[in-house]
Amino acid sequence: MNDDGSARRGEPGKGGGASPGRGTGQDGISLRPLERKILLCAGVVLAGIALSGRYRMLPGAAVGGAIAFGNFFLIRKILEKAFSGEGPLRKGFVAQYVLKFLGLAALVYLVVRSGRFDMLGFLLGFSALFLGVLLEGFYLSAGEK
């Protein structure tokens, strides 16, 4: 319990954010289940494109999904490293985060500028990040009843 009487997120049996055994760490919610949801959503997008017969969109969707997953993977790694120790945040946290963002922007620019990929397919694949977060939110909110 916090000082104000409210429960902390991730504490089993305390009304926190996640149910026991749901990927909770000692200090809070793990982001690994969210990675799996992003991969699942990318797979669903790719399967939907393949089933619709728009095969030209598949490479762009695959690249978009891979970039979305890689982006979230790096976010998770940076955040885990920044918040792993006791006390204040580590100093390199902001620099790493800015470099990751600039790398993402450069990668998206190169994909768009190359013209080798279908842009609608790329956007559908890249949306796997948003869809995965949305799916995980629904999953967690359904488990808190």
Over residues 45-72, the pLDDT tens digits come to 999 999 998 899 999 999 999 999 999 9
Global pTM value: 0.72
- Alpha-carbon distance of 58 to 51, in angstroms, equals 11
Q: Residues of 45-64 as b/e, b for ≥16 C-beta within 10 angstroms?
A: bbeebeeeeeeebbebbbbb
Q: pLDDT-based confidence at 88, cuts 50/70/90?
A: low
| Closest to 79 in 3D by CA, of 64, 90, 63, 87 | 90
| Closest to 71 in 3D by CA, of 29, 115, 127 | 127
The DSSP output letter for 24 is B
